[in-house]
Chain A
Amino acid sequence: MGKWFKSGSPWIWMTSGAVSICLLSVLGLLLLIAVKGLSYFWPDNIYQWQLTDPQGQEYRLIGEIYDSEEVPTERLIAAGRQLDPNVGKMVTRYLVKTGNREFVDLDFRWILGSDIISRSQPKDVAVIERSKNGDFFGFPVAVIEDGTRLTGVALHSTLQSHIDRAVKLNDQARALQKEDIGSINYALEKLRLKERGYELDNALTSERKKALDAQKATLNEQYKMLEARFFDLRKEAARDALIIRDMRGKDITLPIDSILEVTYANQLSFIDKVGHWFTGMGKFISQDPREANTEGGVFPAIFGTVFMVLLMAVMVTPFGVIAAIYLHEYAKKDWVTKLIRIAVINLAGVPSIVYGVFGLGFFVYMLGGSIDALFYPEALPAPTFGSPGVLWSALTLAILTLPVVIVSTEEGLSRIPSSVRQGSLALGATKAETLWRIIIPMASPAIMTGLILAVARAAGEVAPLMLVGVVKLAPTLPIDMNFPFVHLERKFMHLGFHIYDVGFQSPNVEAARPLVYATSFLLVSVIVGLNLTAIGVRNHLREKYRSLEH
């Protein structure tokens, strides 16, 4: 044993243990996110329990099992819970999502295994996804069409057709509101600013005012027309209702225009569930969020993240590449170069929040404030560029990711054999020509790698964005159909911030948690995917130049 210790072998095992722990935790983490994120879309079975409460009363509960754990009995007793002494040392506790938020105190509750009398899976229990107040669990009883109760019809198919109708009408109404009415509002605002601009220049002549007023009047007329149509559509959609029996045994009338989907979870076959799972994911990616971001999709957040990151890529690439070319091709080995190298390392190491502070002070307040004073005086005191927005976020992250592009490009440049450069110069090309025709094309995969890494870094960065432009809920996307189509001054939504916001700022964290896992999974898969691509490109590049060297 002593000899064994002396040989150092146990310590080597310890180091190998460390690697294994690191490896396992990375994989475990990814697996955890994947499992929790993907299971969000899987339709769970709905159970019905008969339970006794501590007073001995029996009651019924319908819901989905969210979580379960083993708890020492003593802890429960210490917490003031009265328990049958012969339940044993441990008792199972289930977290149940009961839905029906407006009718119960808590839509999540813990039930103890020892309180359960019976458990069943009723076939005809329906999960109703609603646009407000979360899910509803219950047994559909009848459909009311325009005030009259329909009898003698197939309940499920009638319900489905009525829901389809309401969803379609609601979609039309929403499109009308977002596109047509939105653009009229936008045009009206533009007119107001134009008028104010004339006023500031003392150029608001009576003809101009008349012309503006005429335009305003036509727009207002259109607005009224569209509004009337919008209300018609909404009214039409609100025609029907559903009578449904909840777990207390009460019949409740739900307006059908608040219902998005009905699923009979306990009737679904495995194939149905897989289908459901895929459509769930599709909706998650393509839909707008609802209920203060705790339900619905994350489309605006995806859009905002992608848009901001692309904008950033456009800004960071030229600077990063030029800096790398300077450092590798042009710089002499003197103190200036050394300073620049230290600057690059430090830019990479400065905490991201510091960039946020700098971006807020310098870009938003100083630059943006000056832009407003120069170009948008008519909108003041409401800021245009002088408040956080997507442009400033992209610019801030461009500085943040600059070192990533530099380091990666420089590595690519250093892999190009000098014989290639010398060959080009020997054939009479100037240095600039060599650069343009030979070096940059050869380094382009490396530049690509740097760009991908920068994009991956930027996509996951949240702290600086909280200061320079990200918001919980942006009413409009940075791109829309109103001239000039791209609105760089707008605030935007971001996947990373969405996770922080929904996970920590929402009133019902328990309900929102699965959605946060799903969002996390989306973000992680994008970022890990980007990184793997970058690694792949880089490895491919290495192989290519290795063959060039000989």
Chain B
Amino acid sequence: MGNQSVLATKNLLFDHGSTRRAIKDRLTHVCVTLGGTMVFVALLMIFFYLLYVIKPIFDGANITPVISINEMGNTPALMVGSDEQNQVLYRVSKQGHAYFYSAKTGLLLSEKQVAIPKGVTVISSAISVASKQLFALGLSNGQVMLVGIDFNVSYPNNKKTITAQFSYPAGAAPITLDAQGSAITHLAFDFTDEKMSFVYQDEKGIWHLTREDGEENMMTEEVEWQSAQSIIPDTPVRVQQQIMLPDQKQLLLRSNNKLFVYKIDDIEAISLVQVLELDRNNTNVISVSLLAGASSLLVSYDNGLIQQYFQVNGAKGRQYQEIRDFNIQGTSDVIASEFYRKGFATVDKEGALTLLYTTSQRTLFAKNFKVDNVDLTDPTAIGFSPRANALIVESNKQLHLFSVDNAHPEVSWSAMWDKVWYEGYPEPKYVWQSTSGADDFEAKLSLTPLAFGTLKAALYAMLFATPLALAGAIYTAYFMSPKVRAIVKPTIEIMEALPTVILGFLAGLWLAPLVEDHLPGILTLFILMPLSILSTAFVWYELPLKWKQRLPDTYQELLLLPVICFVTWFSFAISPALEVVFFGGDSRLYITNVLGMTFNQRNALVVGIAMGFAVIPTIFSIAEDAIFSVPRHLSNGSLALGATTWQTLTRVVLLTASPGIFSAVMMGLGRAVGETMIVLMATGNTAIMEWSVFQGMRTLAANIAVEMPESAIGSSHYRVLFLAAFVLFIFTFVFNTIAEVVRQRLRERYSSL
């Protein structure tokens, strides 16, 4: 009875234990499986995270209507716009009457009229570039009023309040332009703190330029203006549009389909420098407007064509030239340029709103908002908000506010991989120039020169590494005695573990000056090395047998070590002498002057050698494994049939191992493409596109390392750098996957042999 109960408890315990063990077993299984899949998840996560960051640059813009305000004003609009926070909208009429509306409620906040002398009327008006928010009114007595729109932020009762008002940057008193008192019938102007210029047409139809140079009075700290006047020669009879560039050095007068360009920087020597024919297939120009930065003109035609023009340096000096076309559906009546970026928006007669970007040549958004009950037909004015995140359109006595979500308009597939014609460049080019000190700088984000640099560096490295590594692998795997192999293989493989920062440092600070000083020596080395190995071999072949027997066959490589050392030393030793004899004492000068090539100290040759060394162990190790694991009976069979060792090697062994060798080269290429530190340190990191061995390059990887820490999160630059990383990821993914698949095939084939 007692015994039984003991047994029962034991059984119970055992059962209990076994369930616990089973659970433990199960649990381990689940954990291990989970852990194993984590690796895959990690790779997927990298892939998708990169994509997630990159995606927004390819998204178009989004524009949504916010509010439509019924207008009070009757006179035609001169300009519309908003403050930086998009809280107050304004509309200024051609008579100098301004309305300010709240963007939240649509209510009128205030109404202001520019104060003009009594008995005088406003005849003409003009606006400056959008970013200055300035306008001027030409009066009937020959005077002009210069007015700006200012927003003040105050916190009454701890509530942020924005109030709008007029400012008078050149003083509240009107400026007299025409001494005779003739009415200002047409006006163009621009203003800076030191200088302002007005171009106007008087009643007789004569065009004048008035320039005021300001100088700060030391005592009163007030600006005193010094005026000068001149007549503009060679003007067309009918002028539809007059534009002054904000640098006050150029005046543009449009007469129908002709654009007259005047140089006005020197008031004593105003001249007509170009007459630009804008005639295109019997269409007529509607308007000319300036793009942000005021280097480009946007010319819109009545058939929906919009053309960009800017000045290009040519035989006749800087002349305006047609750069690129945009086509919209209808006729674009009004155009607004962003304040700082090179984008613009337009609304056609039918009310369709289109958002475009010049350099990336993208149509970011196009929609007719009639479907949302926002009618934009016959638009009269359009303007961007200062941060380009809102758009204000006036049509049919309504002011419409749209919010604009347009983070990365400057990036497009064509801007990254095709040639782009940037302002100030003589021709379309691949340019990578992401940052600059200037404010109005346009980032040029072409990945082509970087991809080119990556391939160039990889190519030179492979040129150097592949022959050495493969030949070395062949000898080590096929000819070397096992004892020597056991030392040689790990020694070369140790090099793979060598930090690339050290290779880069040596390449940049030791090898680069060495190569520069001993160019002829390097050249001789490349020629002399194989020759000397061959002649050593021949001498050995001709030696009497007695001598040969002293050294076993398998120790050939030992014989070569001193030869190689000597040849290297010799090449460097005679280098200065060769330099004197062949290159006139200075090979650098010879290359630049006689060969006409640019020479950088940190060039592709240095990178090729240094990165070659980083790649050699990768190729060597995999290729050696592949050759070594070719089954011995294959080569033995070949040898038994009377083939020489060399024949056996080339016809049997290498052929069988070729997929493995291919995968070795692929792996090496993958490593060379992604290598960062060596390229970063051993090249000048300039993004040029030259195959020359004496010039440097900038690679994708080095570029990321240099620029990533200083790029702002979420900016186009940041995302394009992620794209560069993604490109590298895909590059190496493809190489590695091919290599791995090939290698697995090979393994299966061997196992069947």
Which residues of A does B touch, CB under 8 Å?
A: 1, 4, 7-27, 29, 32-33, 69-75, 77-78, 89-90, 318-319, 322-323, 325-327, 329-331, 336, 339-358, 360-362, 365, 399, 402, 406, 430-433, 435-436, 453, 456-457, 459-463, 466-467, 496-497, 499-500, 503-504, 509, 513, 516, 520, 523-524, 527-528, 531-532, 535
Contacts and interface: CB of A to CB of B under 8 A. Distances in A.
Given A319-B35, A329-B32, A353 B674 contact: yes
A17 B667 CA distance: 24
Given A22-B620, A29-B506, A13 B533 contact: yes
16 contacts: A17-B529, A318-B35, A323-B35, A323-B39, A330-B36, A343-B42, A343-B44, A349-B736, A352-B674, A353-B705, A399-B46, A431-B29, A466-B705, A467-B704, A467-B705, A524-B502
A-B interface, 6 closest residue pairs, ranked by CB to CB distance from nearest = A8-B646, A351-B674, A326-B36, A460-B499, A74-B585, A322-B35
Given A22-B616, A346-B732, A500 B501 contact: yes
Given A342-B740, A524-B499, A17 B533 contact: yes
Given A9-B541, A13-B533, A32-B506, A351 B676 contact: yes
A520 B500 CA distance: 11
A343 B43 contact: yes
Interface string B720-753: 0110010011001101110110000000000000
Given A26-B494, A358-B49, A406 B24 contact: no
A518 B22 CA distance: 57
Given A15-B474, A75-B586, A528 B494 contact: yes
B576 A71 contact: yes
Given A89-B580, A467-B709, A516-B509, A339 B501 contact: no
B737 A342 contact: yes
B715 interface: no
Given A14-B530, A330-B33, A343-B43, 17 more contacts: A7-B644, A12-B646, A13-B560, A18-B467, A19-B472, A24-B564, A29-B495, A73-B585, A340-B39, A343-B42, A349-B736, A350-B733, A354-B732, A365-B713, A467-B709, A509-B509, A528-B497
B471 A499 contact: no
Contacts of B538: 1, 4, 10
Interface stretch (B115-123, B140-148, B283-291, B485-493): B485-493
A504 B681 contact: yes
Contact of B25 (A13, A70, A433, A456): A433
Nearest to A78: B586
Interface stretch (B57-65, B194-202, B475-483): B475-483
Contacts of A11: 646
Interface of B: 21-22, 24-25, 27-29, 31-33, 35-40, 42-46, 49-50, 53, 467-472, 474-476, 479-480, 488, 490-492, 494-495, 497-502, 504-506, 508-510, 517, 529-530, 533-534, 536-538, 540-541, 556-557, 560-561, 564-565, 576-577, 579-580, 584-586, 589, 613, 616, 620, 644-647, 649-650, 667, 670-671, 673-677, 680-681, 701, 704-705, 708-709, 713, 721-722, 725, 728-729, 732-733, 735-737, 739-740
Nearest to B28: A432
A460 B675 CA distance: 13
Nearest to A17: B533
Contacts of A18: 467-472, 475
Contacts of B540: 13
B494 to A, nearest CB: 6
Given A350-B729, A430-B22, A500 B28 contact: no
Contacts of B647: 8
Nearest to B480: A19
Contacts of B708: 356-357, 360, 466-467
Contacts of A23: 488, 491-492, 557, 561
Contacts of A344: 39
Nearest to B467: A18
B529 A21 contact: yes
Given A27-B491, A406-B39, A90 B676 contact: no
Nearest to B502: A520
A192 B144 CA distance: 58
The residue in A17, A340, A358, A527 that gathers the most chain B C-beta atoms within 10 A of its C-beta is A17
Chain B contact surface mostly? helix
A249 B590 CA distance: 44
B491 A26 contact: yes
Contact of B585 (A14, A72, A432, A524): A72
The residue in A406, A462, A496, A535 that gathers the most chain B C-beta atoms within 10 A of its C-beta is A462
B39 A354 contact: no
A8 B644 contact: yes
A322 B37 CA distance: 10
Contact of A13 (B469, B472, B536, B561): B536
B725 A358 contact: yes
Given A18-B472, A21-B468, A430-B25, A527 B499 contact: yes
Given A16-B475, A503-B681, A351 B502 contact: no
Contacts of B28: 431-432, 435-436
A349 B671 contact: yes
Given A72-B576, A347-B43, A500-B677, A462 B704 contact: no
Contacts of B43: 343, 346-347
B32 A357 contact: no
A524 B497 CA distance: 9
The residue in A21, A22, A27, A535 that gathers the most chain B C-beta atoms within 10 A of its C-beta is A22
A365 B53 CA distance: 12
B505 A499 contact: yes
Contact of A19 (B35, B475, B541, B586): B475
B499 to A, nearest CB: 3
A51 to B, nearest CB: 23
A432 B21 CA distance: 9
B501 A353 contact: no
Contact of B35 (A90, A326, A339): A326
Contact of A431 (B25, B470, B541, B613): B25
A78 B534 CA distance: 39
A497 B737 CA distance: 31
The residue in B499, B564, B701 that gathers the most chain A C-beta atoms within 10 A of its C-beta is B499
Given A349-B736, A358-B49, A360-B708, A513 B509 contact: yes
A457 B735 CA distance: 22
Contacts of B670: 349
A528 to B, nearest CB: 6
Nearest to B576: A72
A276 B382 CA distance: 78
B404 to A, nearest CB: 25
A361 B53 contact: yes
B39 A343 contact: yes
Nearest to A1: B538
Contacts of B534: 10, 13-14
A353 B645 contact: no
A441 to B, nearest CB: 15
B505 A346 contact: no
A500 B505 contact: yes
A535 B647 CA distance: 35
Contacts of B27: 432
A140 to B, nearest CB: 35
B584 A499 contact: no
A75 B517 CA distance: 11
A74 B577 CA distance: 11
B475 A15 contact: yes
Nearest to B495: A26
Given A347-B42, A460-B499, A432 B29 contact: yes
A543 B565 CA distance: 37
Contacts of A499: 501-502, 505
Given A361-B722, A520-B505, A345 B676 contact: no
B725 to A, nearest CB: 4
Contacts of A318: 35
A545 to B, nearest CB: 18
